[in-house]
Amino acid sequence: MFAFAHVFAGTLIGFGFWHLTGDRRALPVAVFGALLPDLIDKSLSLLVPGIFGSGRTLGHTLLFFAAAMAAGLLVWKCRQTLLGVACAAAIFSHQILDSMWTMPAAWFFPFLGPFPVFIIPDYVWQYLWLEITSPSEWIFAGASFILLATGYWSIPERLARFLTSRRSNIARIIIAVLLGGMSACLLLSALASAPQAFFAPTYDPVTDGMAGLLALCGVAVFARWPWPAGHD
C-alpha cells in the first residue's frame, strides 16, 4: 500500500492504544511505526540498490517486527508504558498491508536466503506518481489529518475550536461517507476478484480487500469517537 494508507492504519492503532491506556502519545508513536518500514527500506533502496533494490527488505521482515515487539515489551516492563508495543503493532500492520507473505524470502529473512533484488527505474518519481493518482490516498490523507489534528497536534486555537465543535460535524460526515463508499467499492472489487478498482487502480484484489476493511474501521472511529472531548 501507499504512504497515507499506512498513516491511516497507524492513526487507528494509535487511537486504539490511546483509548486503552489514556496516553495520547500513542498516536504519533503508532503513525511513526506505521511508516518506519518504508523510511528504512526506501532509503536503503536508494543508497544500496544492488542489495536493497526492492524497497521491501530489513524493515519489512518478521525479524524486525519481533525485535521491535521485544523492545516494546522491555519498555513496558521497565517504564510501564505500552508506547513501544503500539509502535511494534503499527510496524506489523505495515507488513500485513503490504502483503509480505507474497515475498517469503524477504518476510522470513534470513531463513529463506537473501533478499530478492530487482531495480525499479525512476523509483522515486514512479512511486510519487502512483501515490498522487490514487483516489484512496487522498481520502486516507484527509481522514488522517482530521483524526490527528483533533486528537493530538498542537494547532491554532481557532482551528482547534472548529475541529472540536459541533460545526465541524459536516466535515466528519463527508469523510465518513467517503470512507464508507470507498470501503464498499473496494470490498466488492475484492470479492469479485476484479483488479483496478476506481479508488485504488493499482491494487490487486487482496489489497483492495485490506484497504476496504481499513476504511471500514475508519468509519467506525469517526462514528464512535467522542469528538468534542477529543482535544485538550
Q: Which tens digits make up the pLDDT trace of 184-207? A: 999 999 999 887 788 988 899 999
Q: Which of 227, 217, 229, 219 is nearest to 168 (CA)?
A: 227
168 pLDDT band, cuts 50/70/90, is low
Query: Residues 62-106: pLDDT tens digits?
Result: 999 999 999 999 999 999 999 999 999 999 999 999 999 999 999
Cα(143)–Cα(134) distance, integer angstroms:
15
Cα(6)–Cα(35) distance, integer angstroms:
6
- Mean pLDDT for 127-155 is 81
Q: Which residues pair with 222 in a beta bridge?
A: none
Cα(148)–Cα(18) distance, integer angstroms:
12
- Mean pLDDT for 152-177 is 62
Q: Where are the domains of the chain?
A: 1-133, 134-226
Between residues 189 and 225, the one the model is more confident about: 189
Of all residues in the chain, what percent carry a pLDDT higher than 90? Answer: 56
Answer whether 66's CB lies under 8 Å from 74's CB. no
pLDDT at residue 230 in the model: 41
Task: Write down the pTM of the prediction.
Answer: 0.88
